[in-house]
Structure 1
C-alpha cells in the first residue's frame, strides 16, 4: 500500500543570513530516496529574462554540486525538457520558472514541493520515502546567472532547493547552503559547507568514504528534562563551526561525520535569526527556546568550554545542562563562520 503526502519548503528573502537538519515528518520519520539516481526535468520555457540558455547550465551545475560529494552516494539523471510547469504530483521531478499557480508571495525566492510514499525496505520494515519533488522559482522575482545587482543567483538558489529535494531541512548555521534566507547577487551558496556535506552523507553514506569519521553524542537538558529543538553545534578548538543538528524530544543529539580531532560543542535556542518556524513540518514546532547558549562543561563562553576528542570510528559523549536565558534575550557567543567546500 502506498500513501502519499506533501510537504513544501520556502526559501525566503532576507538581507542577512543566519546544522544540518533532516526533513522530519510529524511522526518523526526522516524520508529519503530509496534508490539512486534521481531523475529530473526542466520546464521547456526556461527563464524569459535570460536569452542565452545559461539558466539550464546553472541548473545542471547545481545538481552536479551535490553529486560531487565524495562521501555521499548521490546521483541525478537529466531527462530533458517538459511542458509541465511545476508542482503537480505526476511522477516527474520538475524545475520550473513558469508555475504561476502556487501563491509563493513576494518574500519567497523558491520552494520545493515534496511528495512522500510508504515503501517496504530491504529490512522488511515500512519506510517513508520520496516519491517526487518539484522545485518552483518565484516568477515575480528577477533571477540571473551572472551576479547582476538586485537579482537572485539561479545556481545558489537551486543548490539550496536540491538540498530539500534530497531530504535536508533548513539549517541554523549562518554559512550553510541550507540556511533559510537568501539575498540578491549572493553567490556563496553555490558551494557546499562541511555541514551540508555531513548532512547529505548521513542520508546517503558512501561506506568507503566514511570509515575515517567519528561522532559526538549526548543529551541537552534543563534540569532533569530533555530539550527538544536545541541547535547543537560542533566547532574546532580554533572556533570554526563544522557540523550541527537539532536535539530530539528526549534531548538527545548525534553529531556525525567529524574528522578526528579536538572539538567544543554548544547548544543554543533557535530564537533568531533562524527560528523553529523556519524548520519545515511540525516535528520541532514545540521546540524550546527558554534557555541560554551553553557550551559543554555547562559554561557560557567558548574559552571556558571543555574539549572533546573525536577518533576515527569512535563516539565521544558531551552532555549539556543548559544555563538560564540571558536577561537581554541575546545570544552573543554564536560563531559566525563555518567551512565552505
Structure 2
C-alpha cells in the first residue's frame, strides 16, 4: 500500500513537572495516489480561491528572520509562536536493534545502519550545493528500551514497541517529541535508572527528548533496492528524524516531510527536497544561511480579512517546481524564510482536501497550546477550545 501516515506527537515539559500532550499529523493508506495528484495540481493551477498569484524576485541580500515560518516547524507559544529546537549539537540518539519478522534485512543494511544513514542525510543536507546547516549527531550505545519515554531524555529508535504503544489506523511510524518552553532560562528534569538530573533550557522552546517508533504491524525493508511492497526503513526514518529535529509536515509532495508516505513500489524517497533542507537550516543555521537566502513575506486575505492556515507555496518561475511552503498565521500573515535566490510565483491555496490542521499539529501548538491536539482532552489542564479547521474552502478552485 502507498500513502501511509507517518505521525508526530508532541509532549510538553513544564516547570519540571512533565505532562504529556498530543500533537498529531499522519499519512493514510487511502490516499495512496494523493502525492501525484496534489503535486501536479500545485504546478498546474494558475490561481487559488484565496488570492491571485504574485510574481516576486528574490536576491541573496534580502534576508529577514521572523517568527512566522515556512516549512512548518514544531512550535510552542511563548508570547506568540516560537520554533522548538535542540539547543546544542551533537544531538545524541540510540537504537534498540531488535526487530520482528515484519522487518526484512536479508541482503541489506542492519536497521542501525539504515537509521544512521537517515541521520547522515540531515547532517549533510545542502541547498543548491551550499551547506547552510550546522547540525550533527552522535550515536550512543544500543538500548533495550522499546517504548517512548519523554522523561528520560535518551532519544531512542525502536522497531519493537510493546502493546501499550498505540498506532492510529494506517500509521507506519511516529516521533514523540518533548519540549520545554517559556521565557528563558527554564529548567526541566531527566530521569534515568531512578536518578533525576535538572537541566537548563536557554531558548524559548527546547526539544529535550525525541523518540521514534516504527509500527510492528507494517512491513519494512532495508535492502537496496528495497522490497517493492515494503516501506523503506531509511526513508521512513528520514521523515521521523525531521520531526526529531523540530520540523512539522510540509505541503510539498516531493518533500521528505510531506505527511503521506509511500511504499517502495509507489516511489518512496530517501532524498531531501529544498523545503526540507531549508527547514533544517532555518532551525540550525550555518554562518552563511542569512546571506545565502532570502525571505518572501505577505498576507493572504479573504473578503478583506486575514485567512488563517492558508497554504502558501513559492514556485520557481523558471522550472515550475514548488520550492518552499508554509501556512499563514491567525491574521493571514506568512514569511517564507530561507528561500534560495531566484524569481518565484507565490500560490495560496485553502487548507483543504487531504489536509486539515491535524497534519500540522506541531505548528498549530504555537497558536493554541492548551487545547487539543496540543494537549490530552482528558487532562484537566487542557482547557482551551480547539481552533476549527479553516472554513474558506468551497470545493472549487478557480
TM-score band w.r.t. shorter chain: 0.7 to 0.9
State whether structure 2 residue 247 is matched by structure 1 residue 168.
yes
Residue matched to 1:260: 341
C-alpha distance in 1 between matches for 2:326 and 2:147: 31
Residue matched to 1:236: 316
- For normalisation by structure 2, the TM-score amounts to 0.68
Residue matched to 1:310: none
State whether structure 2 residue 148 is matched by structure 1 residue 103.
no
| Deviations, residues 63-93 of structure 1 (Å, cap 9, x unaligned) | 0000002211111100021011121122210
Q: Is the 8 A contact 2:314 2:324 kept in 1?
A: yes
C-alpha distance in 1 between matches for 2:273 and 2:73: 16
Corresponding residue SS for 1:182: coil
Residue matched to 1:303: none
Residue matched to 1:22: 73
Q: Of the candidates 205, 211, 225, which is equivalent to residue 305 of structure 2?
A: 225
Matches for 1:7-86 after TM superposition, within 5 Å? 7-14=22-29, 15-16=32-33, 17=35, 18=38, 20-25=71-76, 28-48=81-101, 49-50=103-104, 54-69=110-125, 70-86=131-147
How many residues get paired? 295
Q: Is the 8 A contact 2:91 2:136 kept in 1?
A: yes
Residue matched to 2:216: 139
Residue matched to 2:282: 202
C-alpha distance in 2 between matches for 1:156 and 1:252: 33
Structure 1's unaligned 5+ residue stretches are: 292-324, 333-341
| Deviations, residues 171-209 of structure 1 (Å, cap 9, x unaligned) | 111111111111221554310000111111111111224
| Deviations, residues 273-313 of structure 1 (Å, cap 9, x unaligned) | 2222211254474352415xxxxxxxxxxxxxxxxxxxxxx
C-alpha distance in 2 between matches for 1:51 and 1:215: 43
In structure 2, the CA distance between the partners of 1:277 and 1:330, relative to structure 1 (3 Å rule), is: farther
Residue matched to 1:179: 258
Q: Is the 8 A contact 1:4 1:117 kept in 2?
A: no
Structure 2's unaligned 5+ residue stretches are: 1-14, 39-69, 126-130, 187-200, 368-386
- For normalisation by structure 1, the TM-score amounts to 0.79
Aligned-pair CA distance for 1:133? 0.6
RMSD across aligned positions (CA)? 2.4
| Deviations, residues 6-34 of structure 1 (Å, cap 9, x unaligned) | 44545433313356211123663321111
State whether structure 2 residue 348 is matched by structure 1 residue 286.
no
